[in-house]
Amino acid sequence: QVQLEESGGGSVQAGGSLRASCAISGMTGVRQCFAWFRQAPGKAREGVASIGSDGTTAYADSVNGRFTIAKDNAKNTLYLHMNYLQPEDTAMYYCAAANPWNDCFSLPRATYISYWGQGTQVTVSS
What letter would DSSP give residue 89? G
Each residue of 64-80: b (16+ CB within 10 Å) or e? eeebbbebeeeeebbbb
**pLDDT per residue rounded down to tens, the chain (126 residues):** 899 999 999 999 999 999 999 999 998 777 789 999 999 999 999 999 999 999 999 999 999 999 999 999 999 999 999 999 999 999 999 999 998 888 899 999 999 999 999 999 999 999
Task: Give me the pLDDT at residue 102, please.
Answer: 87
What gap in Å lies between CA 78 and CA 37, rounded to an integer?
A: 13
Task: Give me the pLDDT at residue 66, please.
Answer: 98
CA 57 to chain centroid, in Å, comes to: 11
Task: Give me the pLDDT at residue 70, please.
Answer: 97
The per-residue DSSP string of 29-84 comes to SSS-EEEEEEE-TTS--EEEEEEETT--EEE-TTTBTTEEEEEETTTTEEEEEE-S
What gap in Å lies between CA 37 and CA 26, rounded to an integer?
A: 20
Give the type of residue at 84: Y
